[in-house]
A and B are shown apart, each in its own frame.
Chain A
């Protein structure tokens, strides 16, 4: 499998006031394959979210290279990064991050607004289809506040899929959900992964990480361990 994400000597520092520098990511070297399902683990403050933000082109590394597919995105301009997010990436957040004033369908449609494609009946059909796929076919005109947490996260998953991304990034996507709903969401993500989507997900729960194929543990901005889950165990879980 070719690498979809490759980071080389990646450094991320935060410069606080004065001479104080926070070293968050320290010379990280990682490579993720296309079609893989990766869980980023590690204690709080270990730099998981920071790494995910860099991978998601929301943040730029202080030093080092980040190749998304063949393309070096570490030096891209703000507009180019927006374009990369818009075309290649899908996001799922811990707190769902739906727009409260929009309906389910409109929320799913939102990424298309920034792709410069014409929003018409066809795109709307596609959004309705995605809503049906995540089990919300009967909630199309509901607003986020009228939905449960699990339902909101399913809308977010549908939204992350609407631009047909190469890579889906999730920062603790089950962090706000109870265990039963978490399982539903993980089943859905696994289904997507089986269908060929590459997924990188941050979590600090072992139960959740167990759904991934590969687990990368961070500690103090370095890779502590990098393991593959036993596929037989995974088969049992199904």
Chain B
């Protein structure tokens, strides 16, 4: 609704149209009020019934003349529905990433000269110290989840999977909304720091596909897999995870199902403080301390204050990193992603889409309205004699105006309702068709605002475009009209 008005106010053409509609509706309402205040509700009801009957008399004609309204309304309902659906889909995707998260990743700096001077080994990215710096946010951050990600071959018997090892902390499950297929995720006890037991446990949790590949037949829980030369006990298997969309932002689409999770501290102890990776066939190697840190801000996504808080902390994180990394080393070896940015981007594009729809809808409804007006004018000519008869029998000019106006409005209202039904049935059937024929996902969501808006606008179109023909009918001279044949 607010989109509609904000757009109208910024666009003179639409402003005019909206003004016209509002005038029409006011004229209509005042006529209505007069009729009803004159104690004539029965008369009004009757004129609606009579209008419906005279439309029924020319079914095909009435149908064809409201076809524009039907199609326009149906298009608005379905497009708004699909727009809202894909918006919600995008939202769900963003929420999967955590809408109040701030994701800081290590990235290889674009500057290559540095790499060359250090003998093909580039050392970059986030370090343990950065984690300590983030501690200054205190309670504003409800969770800090560091990750070290590196590729490793993992074996069980003769089976092998070449996936990523993700070394992280137990909160990872919460931040990423992981669900367990069996067993448990990493818990505090796995981690030396949180466990009084000083032995660093060699435990791991398998992604769904990793579990499938390594243990196609056996129950993986309590089995041992081998990484490098170390054995890790499987304590859990994660349910299949939806990949996050790669759209917008700098996060690439990732497939998490081949990941194997191990405790952060364990990885530091077993694989060394710095991850050293060497892509096969490449002469360069990389050293990264921490691959990614996810900070969860303690805020409500749906409140403006919450959003502002996320943005503020995001800015602060960027500032700290700028200071500590860029200003000291002259290289930008980190990237900060704020999923909320994508959320807001998605909302903005949704608004643009809605506005565009309003424009298209207005055009199609004006076209539909002209169709109605055309037919109404023809009807008035055709029924000139009827108008004369009614006038002779005591009808006032405004009775005639009302009769034709009611006819136009009944027509467009029914047209609008048919359009709503058609639009809704599109929303319910097309996603199935899309899945069935093209196996495409077509998210749809009913937008109630669109329904109200289309019905109200349909009524408005009836008033605006029925007014002129009705006025023409009322203006006819009774005698001339009676002589007409």
Residues of A participating in the B interface, judged by any CB pair closer than 8 Å: 53, 56, 58-59, 78-79, 82-83, 85-87, 91, 93, 97, 99, 101, 110-111, 113-116, 118-120, 159, 163
Q: Shortest beta-carbon distance, B470 to chain A, in Å? A: 16
Which residue from A59, A78, A83, A86 sits with its C-beta under 8 Å from B393? A86
B394, A82: Cβ atoms closer than 8 Å = yes
Residues on B with C-beta less than 8 A from A116 are 38-40, 43
A99 touches B386 (CB 8 A): yes
Chain A residues with Cβ under 8 A from B388's Cβ?
A: 97
Sampled A-B contacts (10; CB under 8 Å): A59-B478, A78-B397, A83-B396, A93-B482, A97-B385, A101-B57, A113-B395, A114-B393, A114-B396, A116-B40
Given A97-B392, A110-B393, A113-B395, 14 other A-B contacts at CB below 8 A?
A58-B479, A58-B482, A59-B479, A79-B396, A85-B394, A91-B392, A97-B388, A101-B53, A114-B393, A114-B394, A114-B396, A114-B399, A116-B38, A119-B42
Evaluate whether A111 and B394 lie within 8 angstroms (CB atoms) in the complex, with A53-B479, A101-B54, A101-B57 already known: yes
**Distance of B349 from chain A, by nearest CB (Å):** 52
A111 touches B393 (CB 8 A): yes
Bound form: Cα–Cα A97–B396 in Å? 18
A87→B396 CA distance, assembly (Å): 12
Which residues of B have CB within 8 Å of A99? 386, 389
Chain B, residues 411-445, CB within 8 Å of chain A (1/0): the string is 00000000000000000000000000000000000
Q: Distance in Å from the Cβ of A136 to the closest Cβ of chain B?
A: 19
Contact B42 A82 (CB under 8 A): no
A53-B479, A59-B479, A119-B46 known; A114 and B390 CB under 8 Å?
yes
Other-chain contact of A115, B53, B389, B391, B394 (Cβ < 8 Å): B394
Q: Number of A-B pairs whose CB atoms are under 8 Å?
A: 65
**B40: A residues at CB distance < 8 A:** 116
Report, as a range, how many residues of chain B touch the other chain: 20 to 34
A79 engages B397 (CB within 8 Å) = yes
Q: How far is the CA of A227 from the CA of B54 in the complex (A)?
A: 48
Contacts of B54 in A (CB 8 A): 101
CA distance A159 to B39 in the complex (A): 25
CA gap between A59 and B391 in the complex, in Å: 12
Tell me how far the C-beta of B396 lies from the nearest C-beta in chain A, rounded to whole angstroms. Answer: 4
* Residues of chain A contacted by B391 (CB below 8 angstroms): 58, 82
Are A82 and B396 closer than 8 Å at their CB atoms?
yes
B396 to chain A: closest residue by CB: A82
**Across-interface contacts of B57 in A (CB, < 8 A):** 101
Task: Given A116-B40, A116-B43, answer yes or no on A91-B393 (Cβ-Cβ < 8 Å).
Answer: yes
Tell me if A113 and B43 are in contact (CB < 8 A).
Answer: yes
Residues on A with C-beta less than 8 A from B482 are 58, 93, 97
Contact between chains at B394 and A163 (CB < 8 Å): yes
- In the assembled complex, the CB of A199 is this many whole angstroms from the nearest CB of chain B, namely 17
Rounded to whole Å, the gap between the CB of B336 and the closest CB of chain A is 73
Complex contacts, A97 vs chain B, CB 8 Å: 385, 388-389, 392, 482
Determine whether the beta carbon of A83 is less than 8 Å from that of B53: no
Mask: chain B, 301-341; 1 = CB below 8 Å from A; 0 = not: 00000000000000000000000000000000000000000
Binary contact readout B375-389 vs A (1 if CB under 8 angstroms, 0 otherwise)? 000000000011011
- Bound-state Cα–Cα, A83 to B385, Å: 20
Rank and list the top 7 A-B pairs by shortest CB-CB distance, nearest first: A86-B394, A114-B394, A82-B396, A111-B393, A114-B395, A85-B394, A97-B389
CA distance A115 to B42 in the complex (A): 12
CA distance A116 to B34 in the complex (A): 12
Which residue on A lies nearest to B386, using beta carbons?
Answer: A99
Chain B residues with Cβ under 8 A from A86's Cβ? 393-395
Contact of A58 among B38, B46, B392, B396 (CB under 8 A): B392
Contact across chains for B46 and A85 when beta carbons are under 8 A apart: no
Minimum CB–CB distance from A175 to chain B (whole Å) comes to 14
- Closest chain B residue to A82 by CB distance? B396
**Distance between Cα atoms of A120 and B395 in the complex (Å):** 19
Across the interface, do A118 and B42 meet the contact criterion of CB distance under 8 Å? yes
Contacts of A113 in B (CB 8 A): 43, 46, 395
Residue of chain A at shortest CB distance from B395: A114
Closest Cβ of chain A: how far from B49's Cβ, in Å?
Answer: 11
A83 to B394, CA, bound (A): 6
Closest to B398 in A: A79
Chain B CB within 10 Å, residue with most, of A53, A115, A116, A120 = A116
In the bound complex, what is the Cα–Cα distance between A197 and B399 (angstroms)?
28
Distance, CA A59 to CA B397, complexed state (A): 15
Please report which residues of chain B, range 446-485, place their CB below 8 angstroms from some CB of chain A when the two chains form the complex. 478-479, 482
- CB-CB under 8 A from A53, the residues of chain B are 479
Closest to A87 in B: B394
A5 to B288 alpha-carbon distance, docked (Å): 111
Give complex CA distance A32, B482 in Å: 26
CA of A118 to CA of B392, assembled, Å: 20
Query: From residue A173, how far is it (CB to closest CB) to chain B in Å?
Result: 14
